Every structure is written in C-alpha cells, then in structure tokens.
Structure 1
Amino acid sequence: MPKPSLDRGVLLLAQGDEILTSRVTGAADAATASPCTPATRFQIASISKQMAAVAVLLLAERGALRLDDPIGRWLPDPPAAWSGITPHHLLTHTSGLGHWEEYPMIDLAEPAEPDKLLAVFAGVPPLFAPGTGWHYSSPGYVLLARAVERASGRPYAAFLAEEVFAPLGMTGSFAGGAAGRDDVATGHEGGRPVPSWDLDTVSMGAGDVWCTGADLLTWLDVPRRGRLLGPAAAAVLTAPHAPTGRPGEAYGYGFFVGRLAGERAVHHSGDNGGYKALAAWFPDSDRRLVVLTNQAEIDPALLKAELE
C-alpha cells in the first residue's frame, strides 16, 4: 500500500535537533501556479492559541495581569454573566463560552468592529458556570487577545511580533491579515482558491497566525526547552488543567495533553477555511512534527504513517 502523501504544503519531522523528514510540495496558489517553498507562510489556525497563551503568561510574569483576574477588568462593558470568568478559564476552555457554532450570526470571513464583536459574544448566554465544564471556545481566545492589548498597551499583532516571534527568531511569522505580504499560501478547497477568514478581529488570538514550517518547528521549543518563559510559566503552559472528556486527554494553556498516534504528546491541530495544520511534540522520543497545508482536505493516515 502506498504511503499517504501531502499534496500541497510542508511536513517536517525532527528528533532531537536532527531533521528526519523535510518535505515541501505543491502549489502555494493554484491560480498562479506559484510553488510552496520553505519560505511560504501558512495559516496555522487554532495553533495560534498557543501564542495567545504565551502572551498572557508573559504579561502575568511581569505583573501586568493575573490569571485569576476577573476578565471584566480587561474588557469594555462585560455582561454580568461573565463576572466569574478569569483568564485561566479562557485559556483552558472552562469559561462556559461557546465555540463558533454557538454564534451562527458571525461570518468568519467578514471583518467586524472589535467592540461590536464582543457585544455579539456577550449576547449569547454561557453554556455553564466558569470552571464547571469544558467546551472548546475560539471566542474565549479572542477575549484573551483583547486582554493582552489592554494589559500591554499595544496592538495584539505587534505584541506577538515584538515579544514572542522576534525573541525566538521566528522571522517568517506574523499575526493578522496577509495583505501586502510576500510568500503567503492561498487556502484551497476542492483544489480551488477560497477567501481567507478575517484574521485581524474575528479570529484574533484564536486562529490568526501565519508561520513557515521551520518557524513552527522552532515554536515547539517553547514547551520542549522552556524557551521564552520562566520555569513556572513554562510548566503551567502544558500542565493538564482540564479534562476534555476524551479518554486520557486534558487541555493545558493552548495545548492538548495526552496521547497522539499512541505516544505521549503535547499538541494542537488547526483548521481554518482552506488550511489545515498540526504541531506536536512527543517528549518520550523527543520528536517534533509539523504539518502545514493550504488545502481543506488531508489524508488522516498521514500522521500515523510519518511517525511509524
């Protein structure tokens, strides 16, 4: 049986500091036939939540915010129903806020005014009291990005650029819309280009980051080597804070913690319109796997085949 292939995108597998597999293939844009290269930036979708989590922890280390602050301290006019929600709840998806399916009135591809977007979130009652359940919530991470802006006094994308990407040497990474940027992959569905989701406001903090494959591999050194954060903050990043309801799996701060392909892992996948992504670190074998593709369809057997 032939090994599953990646039609377009980047796949990197490293063990220790040695690259075992480096594959770049397919078109970055089918309309222009421009190829994917090692310099191509892809939307990493929900893996972006890890950058938001690190931004919050950096500010917490500096005393600019606290993980147990009422989130209303950092948001304009929060509803009473959010009074018990803290950054910790938002980071672990235990706030009670819904995911995109609970907000069908939001068009993920349509730009929105930031405070009006918060008002839409506020108009939907929480699913449960904070800390009493687990429900994956991208809107919760949008709130965290707004909190980072208020606590730092800087636009969220600028904070990531200056405080996260630059110190790590992630020179190909950025957050937000790609207008005017070079080396960006166009998302595809069914082999055809599709418009991007709005990354400046609607997905800010939740799915807004673009990375090269090499940059995302470097990013995994944050949990692997404790880069960027102090020891206490690095430990809390991948601690199993909240059971997800799946056997043996918990959520840390922007990371799933459990088994992946039969091996202990800290990981996250991403799925924006026209893009899919995966970043995983396997501590027992010290392997790191990055998959970035600018198409909505990917062979689910690809991960297992690469790790065997």
Structure 2
Amino acid sequence: MPKPSLDRGVLLLAQGDDILMSRVTGAADAATASPCTPATRFQIASISKQMAAAAVQLLAGRGALRLTDPVNRWLPHPQPAWSGITLHHLLTHTSGLGHWEDYPMIDLAAPAEPDELLGIFASLPPLSAPGATWHYSSPGYVLLARAVERAADRPYAAFLADEVFAPLGMTGSFAGAADGRDDVATGHEGGRPVPSWDLDTVSMGAGDVWCTGADLLTWLDVPRRGRLLEPAAAAAMTAPHAPTGRPGESYGYGWFVGTLAGERAIHHSGDNGGYKAFAGWFPDSDRRLVVLTNQAEIDPALLKAELE
C-alpha cells in the first residue's frame, strides 16, 4: 500500500535535535502558482491556543493576573452568567462555554466588533457549570486573549510578538490578519483558494497565529525544554488538568495529553477554513512532528504513517 502523501505544505520530523525528515511541497497559492518554501507561513489554527495559554502564564508569573481570577474581572462588560468562570476554566475547556457550532450566528470569515462578539458569546447560556465537564471551546480562548490585552495593556498580537515569538527566535511567526505580509500561504478547499477566517477579532487567541514549519518545531521546545516559561508554569501547560472523555486523554493548558500511534504524546491539531495543522512532541522517543498544509483535505493516516 502506498504511503500517504502531503500534497501541499510542510512536514518536519525531528528526533532529539536532528531533523529526520523535511518535506516542502505544492503551491502556496494555486492562483499564482507560487510554491511553498521553508519560509512560507501557514495558519496553525487551534494550535494558536498554546500561545494564548503561554501569554496567560507569562502574565501570571509577573503577578499581572492569576489563573484563579474570574474572567469577568478582565472583561469590559461583566456577564452574570459567567460569574463562576475563571481563567483556569477557560484554559482547560471546562468553563461551560460552547464551541463555534454552538454559535451559528457567527460568520467566522467576517470581521466583528470585539464587544459585540462577547455579547454573542454571552447570549448562549453556559452548557454546564464551571469545572463540571470538558467541552472544547474556541470562544473561551477568545476571552483569554481579551484578558491578556487588558492585563498587559497592549494589543494581543503585539504581546505575542514581543513576549512569545521574539524570545524564542520565531522570526517567521505573527498573529492576526496577513494583510501586506510576504510568504503567506493561501488556504484552499477542493484545490481552489478560499477566503481566510477573521483572525483579528473572531479567532483572536483561538486560531489566529501564522508560523513557518521551523518556527512551529521550535515552539515544541516550550514543553520539551522548558523554554520561555518558569519550570512550574511550563509543567502546568502539559499537566492533565481535565479528562476529555476519550480513553487516556486529558487537556492541559492548550495541549492534549495522551497517546498517539501507541506512544505518549503532547500535541494539538488545527483546522481553519482552508488550512490544517498538527504539532506534537513524543517524550519517550523525543520526536517532534509538525505538519502544516494550506488545504482543507488531508489524509488522516499521514501522521500515523510518519511515526511508524
């Protein structure tokens, strides 16, 4: 049986500090036929949640906020229904807030006014009491990004640029819309370009980051080597805070913790319109795997095949 292939994007597999595989293939933009290169930036979609979690941890380490803070403390208009929700609940997807499918009135590709967006989130009663159940929630991470902005007193994208990407040497990474930037891949579905989701407001903190493959591989050194964060904060990022309901799997702060392909894994995938992403560290073999593609379709057997 032929091995699954990556048609468009970047795949990197490392063991220790050695690169075992580096594959760059396909077009960054089918309309212009420009190729993907090692410098091409892709939307990493929900892997962006890890950067939001790191931002919260950095601010907590400085005493600017606490993980036990009620989220209402950091919002411009407190919502009574959210009175029991803390930043920890948002980080672990145990806040009771819904995911995108629970808010069909939101157009993920359309710009939104920030406070109006919060009002839409608040229009849906919590699905459960804070801490009661695990329910994946991108809107919860939008609230975390708003908290970072208020606690840091600067735009969220600027905080990531200065406090997360720069210290790690992730020179090809940024958050938000790609307007005017070079080396950005266009998302595709069915081989055709599709409009990007709104990354400045709607997906801020939840799916707004662009990375090169090399930068995302570097990012995996945050849990692997304890870079960027203090040891206790780095350990908390990948601690099994909340069981997800799937056998042997829990959620940390922006990371899934469990097994993949029969091996202990700390990982996350991403799925924005026209993009797919995966980043995982396998501690027992010290392997890191990064896959970034600017197409909506990807063979689900690809990751397993690369790890065997």
Matches within 5 A, 1:92-103: 92-103=92-103
Deviation per residue, 1:217-253 (Å, 9 max, x gap): 0000000000000011011000000000000000000
Spell out, residue by residue over 1:140-164, the C-alpha distance to the aligned partner (whole angstroms, 9 max, x if none).
Answer: 0000000000000010000000000
1:79 to partner: Cα distance = 1.4
Q: Counterpart of 1:25? A: 25
Describe how 1:146-165 pairs up with structure 2 within 5 A. 146-165=146-165
Amino acid at match of 2:48: S
Give runs of aligned pairs for residues 9-20 of structure 1, distance below 5 A: 9-20=9-20
Percent identical residues: 88
Q: Which amino acid aligns with 1:13?
A: L
Residue in 2 that maps onto 1:231 = 231
CA distance in 1, matches of 2:132, 2:147: 23
The alignment partner of 2:7 has SS state of coil
- Give TM-score, length-normalised by structure 2: 1.00
Say whether the 8 Å CA contact 1:173–1:212 is kept in structure 2.
yes
Q: Which runs of 5+ in 2 are unaligned?
A: none
Structure 1, unmatched stretches of 5+, are none
Superposition pairs for residues 212-227 of structure 1, below 5 Å?
Answer: 212-227=212-227
Deviates more, 1:73-82 or 1:88-97: 73-82
Aligned 1:74-93 pairs, distance under 5 A = 74-93=74-93
Mean Cα deviation higher: 75-84 or 183-192: 75-84
Shift of 1:121: 0.5
1:75 touches 1:146 (CA, 8 Å); kept in 2?
yes
Code of the residue aligned with 2:69 in structure 1: it is D
Alpha-carbon separation, structure 1, partners of 2:78 and 2:43: 30
Name the amino acid aligned to 2:11: L
Amino acid at match of 2:268: H
**2:172 maps to 1:172:** yes
Q: Which amino acid aligns with 1:94?
A: T
Aligned to 2:263: 263
What does 1:7-156 correspond to in 2, within 5 Å? 7-156=7-156
Q: 1:53, 1:237 within 8 Å by CA — same for their partners in 2? A: yes
- State the alpha-carbon separation in 2 of the partners of residues 23 and 206 from structure 1: 27
* 1:282 alignment partner AA: F
Q: Which amino acid is 2:73 matched to? A: R
**In 2, distance between residues paired with 1:76 and 1:85?**
15
Q: How far apart, in 1, do the equivalents of 2:79 and 2:165 lie?
A: 34
**Contact 1:58–1:229, Cα closer than 8 Å, also in 2:** yes
CA distance in 1, matches of 2:307, 2:127: 38
Partner of 1:192: 192
Q: Which amino acid aligns with 1:168?
A: L
C-alpha separation between the residues in 2 aligned to 1:40 and 1:227?
A: 24
TM-score, structure 1 normalization: 1.00
C-alpha contact 1:78 1:122 (8 A) present in aligned 2: no
Structure 2 residue identity aligned to 1:181: R
The structural deviation recorded for 1:76 is 1.3
Q: Which runs of 4+ in 1 moved over 4 A?
A: none
Q: Which residue of 2 aligns with 1:288?
A: 288
What residue in structure 2 maps to residue 207 of structure 1?
207
- For residue 54 of structure 1, give the secondary structure of its aligned residue in structure 2: helix
Give the Cα separation in 2 of the matches to 1:36 and 1:82.
44
Kindly provide the CA deviation profile for residues 244-283 of structure 1, in whole angstroms up to 9, marking residues without a partner as x.
0000000000000000111100000000000000000000
Q: Please give the root-mean-square deviation of Cα atoms over the aligned residues, in Å.
A: 0.4
Matches within 5 A, 1:234-245: 234-245=234-245
User: What amino acid maps onto 2:95 in structure 1?
Assistant: S
Q: Distance in 2 between matches of 1:122 and 1:62?
A: 30
Distance 2:170 2:122 in 1: 35
Q: Give 1:78 deviation, angstroms.
A: 2.1
Q: Distance in 2 between matches of 1:153 and 1:77?
A: 17
**What amino acid is the match of 1:183?**
D
